Structure 1
Amino acid sequence: MTRFSADVASEATVTAERKAVWDVLVDPVLLPKLTPLLSRIEDDGSLWRWHMVRLAVMGVGIKPVFTERMTFDEGVRIDFTHEPPAGVTEWAGAEGHYTLSDTPGGTHLEIGLRLDVDLPLSRLAAPVVERTMRSTMAVTGDRFSANLLKHLKAKQR
């Protein structure tokens, strides 16, 4: 197995109150409805198990499932770090954060995310695999953003 990684960072200001944005980001039932490629989240308090849909990367089919330790700073910040259960090997994981702050007439949201996945591919495939990962993450983020705005009945400023 070879580990491949991709990072994405984005920020936006939306015309919704911070509490409304926060309530979406901490809802493990609603998030999969708004996030393409995410089928469900199992919530076990501060541990969330993320189930993705089946993806194909260079002819290799994967259906990532990974456990994240979620740390919530009420209304301000969410940090997540990969923490698989003892004795369990997970082939994917994420590290990152969401940060929310008030702005006049809305909320400023920053997202930083690093996704790691182990695949049975040569390290020589890294440029193609990681470029594909970044573009997939960007499209997913754009679609999540559009779904979030629609759900909140808000606009991006």
Structure 2
Amino acid sequence: MATELETLALNQPSGGVPNSALPLLLYHHVSHEEQLAEAFESLFAHHGWPPAWRDGVFPYTHFHSNTHEVLGVFAGNARIQFGGESGPIVDISRGDAVLIPAGVGHKKIEASDDFQCVGAYPEGCSPDKYLDQREVPVEARDHMAKVPMPACDPVTGKKGGIQEFWG
């Protein structure tokens, strides 16, 4: 089955979540390999996004102001809300990946007991974490303005993905 790419425009602030002019990229059916965690880690690392962790997604809205984040789902499924409390809820499952632009809020709404993903960031980046509070802190907006465009898409490399939709 071929990878399907879906975009979500989350360009309006929501409460204390700034969101981003860059669309969120949702890749369905990236892989169905038996050792999927390792496959995602290898894919991301090959494209300059070294894997940073394996875990679930926090059950509260948060965002990273200083880096983009990619998640590769290697077990189970979940419903994740993107863009803050007024944002869409998206179903993701084993084999899917999601590229979250800096500033876009995300939280787990519900998940299967076995839900797990690999998280990665562009080479040299270490994420900060802000919560959805009354207003976006000034320093978070400053950080977002300085986030560089990654050299490669974590899933598709030099073609498609960010090259096509983040141009």
TM-score (ref. length: structure 2) = 0.29
Bigger Rg, which one = 1
TM-score (ref. length: structure 1) = 0.30
Query: Which has a greater percent of strand?
Result: 1
Q: Which has the higher contact order (CA 8 A, sep 6+)?
A: 1
